[in-house]
Amino acid sequence: MAEEPRKVVILGGGLTGISAAIHLRRPWVLFEREAKLGGMAVTEERDGFHFDLTGHWLHLRDPGIMQLVAEVLPLEMESVQRRARIFSHGVTTLYPFQANLYGLPPEVIKECLLGVIEAKMQAPGSPPRNFEEYCLRHFGAGISRHFMIPYNEKLWGVHPRTITADWCSRFVPLPNLEQVVAGAVGADSGRMGYNTNFLYPKQGGIETLVRGLGTRIQGGEVHLGSGVESLDLGRREVVVAGRRVPYRAVVATLPLPELLARISDLPDDIVAHAGRLRCTSLRYLNVATRSSPAADWHWVYVPERRLPFYRVGVYSNAVASMAPAGAASLYVELAERGPVSDTTLSEVAQGLTSIGAISSPADIRFAEAREIKYAYVVFDEHYHAATTAIFRFLESHSIFPRGRYGGWTYNAMEDCLLAGREVAGSIEATLGSKTP
């Protein structure tokens, strides 16, 4: 039998894999484990209520990606001005906390302001060793105590002292003293953060983006319901449903530990590094209400430990078509990583009422629990050494790990579209004009 020609193999059909497929110029084949494309960027529908895998708001900065999205979804994206809030000490304040202390109890504002001033007066020392030190250095003790530490502990599922600050430069706004003071007295501190505006499909949730991008996929084959079983580095083959597929290069977007677990001929040091990769899971709830939401915000951050969630969003406040008229669809991201009990559900219902997300627990029409196994990669002390060694090894075998979980990082949808474009370019450059 003639040998199957070697192609570029794309593992995983989330946004990274889709973008690689769009941008590759040589033959490729994509294997996706699930029955549809999209990965994390898919949308569930029940009784007219739409839910993403928690809020998936699209923030674009790259002109090429903006153009791509505009071309595949002409007039189908809504541009929304962010309404993000914080709920703490019984009040709702503006985001980001560190630049909008106004409205908090006076003694909290005083503690936060004194902390910032003290932090700004410190002589610059050695770089912070972990995220807790980073917060204390930049925001001082008060803001760290009232927001940064408890919020991030709930989000990451680990204490901020056990992670580095490597992930946060683009995601955590750093106001100057003038902005902090302005925000504390109720003056305008300016709109801050990478997500002051976002795009979102007018219909169908974030999966509409995937469908639009799907119209650009060409020059290869997509196999759905086809999880990769193993990779054979020696023979340069992937095995899917018992079929051996020879590759020239692999774009690996499935979670890095899942990829490594499928390679039997790994050297011992890479196996050891693989054992040090850490990631936290996430449980969240899809919540449908009977009436319009009490709140007008798109999402709210909830740092206090007494409340069982760390972030709540109302899809239908951003785009009304996400819920039937007069009702609302919400996501509730839970601090607890374990199974969701009835007690948790009732605490959530009470909590949603107390933060003003819903008018009363009786307003909930249904609440469904979901789990994301790989949610937040943990940037601990092993992260750099482990990922550097693993990526170097894989790339020496023409395997290119990319995307949020393939590239083992913290990023957003646009970063994944960029990663797919970048890896397609790298592969074209590496393979050059050699015949496919």
Ligand X SMILES: Cc1cc2nc3c(=O)[nH]c(=O)nc-3n(C[C@H](O)[C@H](O)[C@H](O)COP(=O)(O)OP(=O)(O)OC[C@H]3O[C@@H](n4cnc5c(N)ncnc54)[C@H](O)[C@@H]3O)c2cc1C
Which of 13, 96, 160, 212: binder of ligand X (CB under 6 A)?
A: 13
Report helix, strand or coil for 242: coil
Q: Which of 397, 8, 417, 380 is nearest to 157 (CA)?
A: 380
Which of 14, 183, 212, 220: binder of ligand X (CB under 6 A)?
A: 14
For ligand X, the binding residues in 53-82 under the rule CB under 6 A are 54-59
For ligand X, the binding residues in 208-247 under the rule CB under 6 A are 227-228
15 binds ligand X (CB under 6 A): yes
State which H helix or E strand residue 423 sits in: helix 413-431
Nearer to ligand X, 142 or 420 (CB): 420
User: Least distance from C-beta 233 to ligand X, angstroms?
Assistant: 17
In the numeric block, the tokens 């509730």 are attached to 332
Nearer to ligand X, 41 or 101 (CB): 41
115 binds ligand X (CB under 6 A): no
x-marked contacts with ligand X along 411-430 as a string, rule CB under 6 A: xxx--x--------------
x-marked contacts with ligand X along 16-55 as a string, rule CB under 6 A: xx-------------xxxx----xxx------------xx
- Bridge partners of residue 391, in order along the sequence: none
- Spatial neighbors of 278 by CB under 8 A, at least 6 apart, are 377, 378, 380, 382
Give the Cα separation of 87 and 129 in Å (integer).
Answer: 29
Main-chain phi, psi angles of 239, to 5 degrees: -115, 120
Nearer to ligand X, 136 or 254 (CB): 254
User: Least distance from C-beta 109 to ligand X, angstroms?
Assistant: 30
State which H helix or E strand residue 81 sits in: strand 77-81
Nearer to ligand X, 138 or 311 (CB): 311
User: Least distance from C-beta 52 to ligand X, angstroms?
Assistant: 8
Instruction: Find out whether 56 and 63 touch, Cβ atoms under 8 Å.
Output: no
User: Least distance from C-beta 300 to ligand X, angstroms?
Assistant: 14
Instruction: Find out whether 56 and 49 touch, Cβ atoms under 8 Å.
Output: no
State which H helix or E strand residue 309 sits in: strand 309-314
Which tokens go with 84? 């993000």
For ligand X, the binding residues in 373-412 under the rule CB under 6 A are 375, 403-406, 411-412
Report helix, strand or coil for 326: coil
Nearer to ligand X, 113 or 266 (CB): 266
10, amino acid identity? I
- Bridge partners of residue 334, in order along the sequence: 309
User: Least distance from C-beta 122 to ligand X, angstroms?
Assistant: 34
Residues that bind ligand X (CB under 6 A): 11-17, 31-34, 39-41, 54-59, 227-228, 253-254, 258, 282, 372, 375, 403-406, 411-413, 416
